[in-house]
Structure 1
């Protein structure tokens, strides 16, 4: 459990009139903050949840990993309130159903391996997704569905669709009612229907030269559950055309709230998404949510944003006369920005509560990170990022507090220092972060335990002028006006026009990011390095250590940074 710092305060924003009956309302708010549950109603009408508005794509996102089709992703999707979850399915070499996107194009990305042929379910079970998530098979899925009878699974396959659906119907008859098959053409409908599936989706991503009139006629006659289409077809007007005929349409893949609302405005019933939660389309958050202005001044839904003041946050959905209260942690007192400056640095809970005509409408819970000069506000779906954040240490303070000899400090402040499992690093005494988009990207362990650092970020901090990876996964680095070349999954490194060097640890891809070991950076820069006790230290240029004693002292001093 994350411990939150305690503080007083909440920001009171009054729209149109002053707050009345404050004592009574604060009493109500304390109960809300204790139980984090809200009874939401407009007048006498209770809001119903519409979980079918968003389908968890590829099992849904899990801790920044998308479309993993993993056990963890599936369980997380269920816990997050998804009622319908899409999974990718294939047949193993021994004719078992496994959750796999494809055997060739994405295998390296998910499993860090390649398949020249299908493998058995037994071998598949020995793999892991991104090195840490458990692979999912239909045997495992069946057990999960048994204890979650309300959950529906949409199938997707790049293989033999009818063979997979036939196998489910034959071997898992009790789960058929929880399966919504996707078909990829008109001719599959009758065969899938005969297998006993009542709800069927026609997906269009594999269809070519779509005849819209024929499509509409087919869907209307066959009474399909829905039609799913890629975003580019929806943008061409097909979503609008089908919805005008009363056909339920889902659009995929969709990652932002604004894109989802756009497609819904074009007639889509819902979207396939790994990052949007069901509650964002139902209940209180459907109508009320925090926004922040983007670079163009357009209000967009807050996801994970830095602000200088809470005044930068606006609440979408409020009307004249509404009262909006911001509370921090378990406090029941109002706060303004001057008081917020007294808030302890660290992790906090931010609760936004709305009153209308003196009645409580509901509240929203966000996560708040504060350091000395900025605030970071996160939607609660990014709690995994919030939990990863750790107190960052100042290089000079660490060195002085631990009595590190001046000779060692001078070496380390000119070094590059990283550690396995950590997303922070130090370059010439300054702290940096490894990132993959908006997510942290920790240092990984490669073969034989060698540390693998994100290549582009590390090379640039070491002084590279440019790092470019092309579509063929060839990487070119300009360092000291010299072009160096390496390929993903290759042990070979070429520096300038010189000879080719064979490395012991290859450059690999992790989450589509090139990762390289200390040996690579040593060849690139000519700097020696130390790799010990999960640390990797690229020493200053031309430095030769005098013996093991000084190396151990350097390692001990550097370890205090993490």
Structure 2
């Protein structure tokens, strides 16, 4: 059985995950946001990946480009050339996954959490990660459908990239069956019992979106392993200050 569980999890320091990069300061999933998150020393930088009409992988959360660029249209109906003509609010084009992975190679400590937003191009994501040589600094997130494709693929390729369960339903039974190392429910859907059960299974719990002190205190009280935030610098500082006071 192909299992990717960690046998032991160190929980003395809460991990800081930059949500789509340092997206509180720069456009989400942009090169600028990723660079800022690296400079801020985020433990993980979460990015979203979708496929264009011509099969290229780009960093974008939504199925359409409308919300984050000056363009319009569905990602799956646009070619990379068309997508690259649109601009993010900072003037940058939407980056490709390859550009982001090459940027990761320059980071001293940050890792990527790559969220595959839709099924059908898992092999392309794996190939890009392996080709860039950063497979040991990446964690792939996806629905159970996506992960059920990724697991045999990477086993065939001879790699053991860490996996995390994402999506609306993050049942611990499913997470254990898949052999993932993490789950990441929204903080409003989280309780102490869930966290404790996950830890009994050696599964890390990250929660989102933690952008203020109230949410941070709640996350610490719940005993999560990491927080997903748009402000990795501020939340990192506050988490250290609050450590031991809750």
TM normalised by structure 1 equals: 0.37
The answer to whether the 8 A contact 1:92-1:98 is kept is yes
SS at match of 1:56: strand
Partner of 1:187: 148
1:257 corresponds to which of 213, 230, 234:
213
Residue deviations 1:313-371 (CA, integer Å, cap 9, x gap) = xxx97xxxxxxxxxxxxxxxxxxxxxxxxxxxxxxxxxxxxxxxxxxxxxxxxxxxxxx
Residue 132 of structure 1, CA deviation: 2.8
Residue 192 of structure 1, CA deviation: 5.1
The answer to whether the 8 A contact 2:15-2:227 is kept is yes
Partner of 1:55: 17
Partner of 1:73: 33
Residue 242 of structure 1, CA deviation: 1.8
1:128 corresponds to which of 76, 87, 111:
87
CA–CA distance in structure 2, aligned partners of residues 102 and 163 of structure 1: 21
Residue deviations 1:158-215 (CA, integer Å, cap 9, x gap) = 2235234333245x24122222101311634632541423322122x2337x4x4x24
How many residues in Structure 1 have an aligned counterpart in Structure 2?
227
CA–CA distance in structure 1, aligned partners of residues 175 and 52 of structure 2: 36
Partner of 1:479: none
Q: Does 1:201 align with 2:164?
A: yes
SS at match of 1:111: coil
Going from structure 1 to structure 2, the CA distance change for 1:273 and 1:164 (only over 3 Å counts) comes to farther
Residue 54 of structure 1, CA deviation: 1.2
Residue 270 of structure 1, CA deviation: 1.0
2:67 corresponds to which of 92, 109, 115:
109
Partner of 1:93: 53
Please show how residues 83-482 of structure 1 align to structure 2 within 5 Å. Answer: 83-104=43-64, 107-116=65-74, 117-130=76-89, 132-160=91-119, 162-169=122-129, 172-185=131-144, 187-188=148-149, 190-191=151-152, 193-194=154-155, 195=157, 196-203=159-166, 205-207=167-169, 210=171, 212=172, 214-215=173-174, 217-218=176-177, 222=179, 224-235=180-191, 237-277=193-233, 279-280=236-237, 286-287=240-241
SS at match of 2:220: helix
The answer to whether the 8 A contact 2:57-2:97 is kept is yes
SS at match of 2:20: helix
CA–CA distance in structure 2, aligned partners of residues 288 and 90 of structure 1: 37
Structure 2, unaligned stretches of length 5 or more?
1-11
Residue 99 of structure 1, CA deviation: 0.5
Going from structure 1 to structure 2, the CA distance change for 1:246 and 1:131 (only over 3 Å counts) comes to closer
Please show how residues 513-524 of structure 1 align to structure 2 within 5 Å. Answer: none
The answer to whether the 8 A contact 2:101-2:134 is kept is yes
Which structure carries more relative contact order (alpha carbon 8 Å, separation 6+)?
A: 2
Residue deviations 1:480-510 (CA, integer Å, cap 9, x gap) = xxxxxxxxxxxxxxxxxxxxxxxxxxxxxxx
Q: Calculate the aligned-residue CA RMSD, in Å.
A: 3.0
Residue deviations 1:108-150 (CA, integer Å, cap 9, x gap) = 2211332145322222222211263442212321331222253
CA–CA distance in structure 1, aligned partners of residues 184 and 70 of structure 2: 30
CA–CA distance in structure 1, aligned partners of residues 175 and 151 of structure 2: 17
Residue 246 of structure 1, CA deviation: 4.2
SS at match of 1:55: strand
CA–CA distance in structure 1, aligned partners of residues 138 and 231 of structure 2: 22
Q: Counting helix residues as a fraction of each chain, which structure ranks higher?
A: 2
Residue 269 of structure 1, CA deviation: 0.7
SS at match of 1:218: helix
Going from structure 1 to structure 2, the CA distance change for 1:256 and 1:102 (only over 3 Å counts) comes to same
TM normalised by structure 2 equals: 0.77
Going from structure 1 to structure 2, the CA distance change for 1:69 and 1:153 (only over 3 Å counts) comes to same
